[in-house]
Amino acid sequence: MPPPTDVEAAPPKELSTEITNSIVLLWSRYCGIKPSAETSISRSNRIVCVLEGAVSAFDAGLAASERDAEGAERPLTALTCRRDAIAGIERLTKRRVAAFISDHDAKTDVATEIFLLEIPRRTY
């Protein structure tokens, strides 16, 4: 028997589109605007989402949410965004997110969200 490997076929194009749409919707909820450009790449156990043109609006949205948090049922924070992003990816891929790495570059106005998925066990 061949040894287990994490190499898998690329997910269907529809899944990449659904992932992009989910992240853009989440981003819009947190900052009030959609990114000017977005791309999602999914391969094996890695998903990379790149969002352009909304980092400053995201930061402003979080700051406004924190100011208005008093009395809010669930204020929008970086932590809630992280949790919502992970939950969305897990729902779409039906796999657990093992790691999430997020980087927002204010200078270039580009955000990169990386999800590493648990590799499913193979049975022989």
Q: What is the pLDDT of residues 72-86, one digit of tens each?
A: 566 677 888 899 999
CB 56 within 8 A of CB 35: no
Segment 100-109 shows an average pLDDT of 93
Give the sheet arrangement for strand 97-105, strand by strand. Answer: 37-43, 46-52, 110-117, 97-105
Domain ranges of the chain: 13-117
Confidence of residue 123 (pLDDT cuts 50, 70, 90): confident
Average pLDDT, the chain: 82
Distance CA 36, CA 28 (A): 11
**The two structure tokens encoding residue 23:** 């992240």
CATH top class, domain 13-117: alpha beta
- Is the pLDDT at 23 greater than 90? The verdict is yes
**Angle subtended by helix axes 13-31 and 78-93, to nearest 10:** 160
**Phi–psi pair at 83, nearest 5 degrees:** -60, -45
Q: Is the pTM of this model over 0.85?
A: no
